[in-house]
Structures are given as C-alpha cells and as structure tokens.
Structure 1
Amino acid sequence: MIYIYNDFGGTHTTSLAAAYHLKKLPQSERVLTSEEILNVPYFNQLTKKDFGKLIFHGIDDEGNPVYTIGRKRNKLVVPALKELTILLQHRFHFDEKIIFSNTSPTVPIPMSIGGFLSRTMKIDSLGVPLLVRGAQQCCDNIYRLVENTKETAKIPCRDNVIVLENEMYK
C-alpha cells in the first residue's frame, strides 16, 4: 500500500495529513497548538521548485510509505499518475495498492490567504499567523480525512489505484 496526499501547494494540509497518518501529531480531533503545527515536517517549507514532486514523509505503523505532492491548479496530475501507475502495474505485474487522497477540500480561507502571503509574497509576518489559524480551523477535518483514507484502503476492491476526492470535508 502506498498513500499519496495531494493538494494545491503540497506543504500545508498535505503535510498535516502525512503527520497525522504517521502519528507525529496527536491522534484526536482536538485543535492543534501553534507549536505542533509549525513543527510538522515540510509545513510551509516547500517552494515552487517542489511542485509536482513526490515528497516522502515516512513509513506508517503497517509498513506503508506515505507521500505528498503539490499539483498546483493542474487537476490532471492525479489522473495522469493513476494512469501511469496502472500502466506500470500491468507492464511489470505488480499489484501494490495506491491511494491518492485529496486534502484540498479541508483548506479554509485563512490558510489560502496565509499560504499566498507566506509562500508567494514572502511575507511570513502576515502569512504564518493566518496559516496557523487556518490549520487550527481545519485540523479536525484533516484528522478525519486521514482516518477515512486509511479505512478506505482496507476495503477490498478490484482497483489497485484509488482516488479519493474527499468532497465531504468542504
């Protein structure tokens, strides 16, 4: 099993999702502290050169690798990765299950504004507090999204590549 959390930038909600998945954050729906948020690996640290790269976050307690990817506005990245994966599975006869889980629906407005100010405009003094506030607003949704992603992975199905859009977390 391979987990890949994806969203626009790949550095905020995806990093939080990977941290929850890998149990680097408290396993509950409680509001995270500023310190907990800012200490999440890769949170608000990736730059435009990292877009489209699979970022490895670690191995979960069941031995599964966890990755993130920032896809920008390109909605074709995940479908293309899915098709490439299917092609490679058929060509090389492997059946590793891969779960793409979209964290974008969890992003609140303060996080979007904070990400723009911090990552694009380089105004951390305004952007980072908004990012923290946004992360605090959505951390319970991200936690539930991760739990749902892990539960979905356990369900037997014919497809070895699953794409979760997670629209219920808007």
Structure 2
Amino acid sequence: MIYIYNDYGGTHTTSLAAAYHLKQISQSERKLTKEEILNVNYFNKLTKDDFGKIIFHGVDENGDSVYTVGRKSAKFVVQALKDLCQLLQNKHHFHEKIVFSNTSPTVPFVMSIGGFFSRGLKIDFIGVPLLVLGAKQCCDNIYRLVENTKQVGRSSNEAQIIILENEVYKK
C-alpha cells in the first residue's frame, strides 16, 4: 500500500503526518516540544521548487510506503495523480492500493501565517515560532487524521485508490 499525505505546501502538516505515520514521533497526552517539531524530516525545509514533487518519507511497520506532496491551491493535482494511478493499474496491471490523505483541514490560522513568513517571505524569526505554535495546536488532530487514514487503508474496501479530504478535522 502507498500513503500520500498532501496539502498546500507539503512541508508542515504533511511532514508531521508522515512522522506520526512512521512512528518517528509518538502521540502522548502532552503536546510536541519545539525540538521534536523542528527535527521532523522536511518540516519547514521545502521551497517553492518542491511543489508537486512526491517526497518519500519511509516505510511503515506494515511495509507500506509513506509519501507527501505539496499541491499549492490546485486540488486537481490529487485528481490527476489518481487518474495516472488508475491508468497504471489498468494498462500495466499495477494493483497497489493508494490512499491520498489531505492534511489541510488540520492547519490552524497561526500555522498559515507562520508558513507565509517563513517560507514565503524568508523571515524565519517571525515564522518559525508561529509554525511551532501552530504545530502544537494541531498535533492531536494530525495524529487522529493519520490513525483514520491508516484504518481506511487497511479496510476491506474494494477501492484501489482512495482520496480522503478529511473535512472532519477542519479548524
């Protein structure tokens, strides 16, 4: 199975989701620390040149691959990827289940502002503290989103390609 977490930039909530999925960070009753957040692979490290790139994060305990992608505001990117996967499945007998999971609904306003300052304007001394604050606010929702994504992936659903919009996590 392949999991692909996606959102606008592909560097904040998607990176956290991949880290939770791969158990690189663990859920507990406490909020993540600043150090845990800033040490997550790719967190706040991708640039505009990375939009649309599918980034491999690792293989989970079940042997499933975990990826992320920043799609900007173009939600049609996920539909295009779904269509490409269906083409590969039909034409080349590729039968891997693929789950696309949108992490955008978990993004709090403060994280959007932090991302704008840090990634957009390159003003990290303002943006990074806001990103950390936002990550602390949404880490529980991201963890629940990941657990739901994994459950849907494991379900006996006949669908080979699943798109989760995850609106239930909307702030």
Runs of 4+ in 1 over 6 A off after TM superposition: none
**Equivalent in the alignment of 1:163:** 163
2:137 is matched with: 137
In structure 2, what is the equivalent of residue 15 of structure 1?
15
Q: Distance in 1 between matches of 2:16 and 2:146?
A: 10
Could you tell me how far apart the structure 2 residues matched to 1:5 and 1:75 are? 13
Give the TM-score normalised by structure 2: 0.98
- Flag structure 1 segments of 5+ consecutive residues without an equivalent: none
TM-score (norm 1): 0.98
Equivalent residues of 1:30, 1:140 under 8 A apart: no
CA distance in 2: counterparts of 1:29 and 1:53, whole angstroms: 34
Contact 1:29 1:139 in 2 (8 A): no
CA distance in 1, matches of 2:156, 2:82: 18
1:63 counterpart letter in structure 2:
G
Residues 95 and 29 from structure 1, CA distance in 2 versus in 1: closer, same or farther, beyond 3 angstroms? farther
Deviates more, 1:60-69 or 1:23-32: 23-32
Matched with 1:116 is 116
Where in structure 2 are the equivalents of 1:102-113 lying within 5 Å? Answer: 102-113=102-113
Q: For 2:8 and 2:33, how far apart are their aligned partners in 1?
A: 24
C-alpha displacement of 1:29: 5.3
1:26 positional shift: 1.3
Counterpart Cα distance in 2 of 1:28 and 1:161? 31
Task: State the AA in 1 paired with 2:55.
Answer: I
Q: Distance in 2 between matches of 1:136 and 1:115?
A: 14
SS of equivalent to 1:74: coil
In structure 2, the partner of 1:147 is: 147
3-state SS of paired residue (2:67): strand
Superposed CA deviations along residues 58-104 of structure 1, whole A, max 9, x for unmatched, are 00011111000000010100001001100110001121000000000
Query: What number of residue pairs does the alignment pair up?
Result: 170
**C-alpha distance in 2, partners of 1:31/1:115?**
20
CA distance in structure 2 between the aligned counterparts of 1:77 and 1:94, rounded to whole angstroms: 20
Identical-pair percentage:
71
Structure 2: give runs of 5+ residues left out of the alignment.
none
